[in-house]
Structure 1
Amino acid sequence: METYHIGFSIAALVTRLFLGIIFVSQGYSRLFKVGSKHVADFFGEQLAGKNYPKWILSFSAYATSISECIGGILLILGLFRGIALSLLSIDILLVTLAFSVMQTIVDLEHIFPRLLLLLVLWLIPSSVDIYTLDELLKYVFNIDTMIF
Structure 2
Amino acid sequence: MEILTQYHQMAAIALARIFLGFLFLFQGYDAVFHIGIKKVTDTYHESFKLKGIPRMITSFSAWYTSYTELICGFLLVLGLFEFASLYLLGINLILAAIGFGMNAPLWDTRNVYPRLLLILFLLMMPLHSHHWSLDYLIFKS
Q: What is residue 120 of structure 1 aligned with on the other side?
A: 121
| 1:130 CA displacement | 0.5
Q: Deviation string for 1:37-93 (max 9, x for gaps)?
A: 111111112224211101111111011111111111111111112111111110010
Instruction: Tell me the C-alpha RMSD between the 2 structures.
Output: 1.4
Find the aligned partners of 2:91 and 2:117 in 1 and give their Cα distance. Answer: 14
Q: Percent same amino acid at aligned positions? A: 37
TM-score with structure 2 setting the length: 0.91
Contact 2:49 2:55 in 1 (8 A): no
Q: Which runs of 5+ in 1 are unaligned?
A: none
Q: What is residue 81 of structure 1 aligned with on the other side?
A: 82
Q: What is residue 31 of structure 1 aligned with on the other side?
A: 32
- SS of the residue corresponding to residue 30 of structure 1 reads helix
Find the aligned partners of 1:72 and 1:30 in 2 and give their Cα distance. Answer: 13
Moved over 2 A (4+): none
| Structure 1 or 2: more helix by fraction | 2
Structure 1 residue 54 and structure 2 residue 55: aligned?
A: yes
TM-score with structure 1 setting the length: 0.87
Find the aligned partners of 2:116 and 2:15 in 1 and give their Cα distance. Answer: 16
Q: Deviation string for 1:93-124 (max 9, x for gaps)?
A: 01111000111212101111111111111111
Contact 2:31 2:37 in 1 (8 A): yes
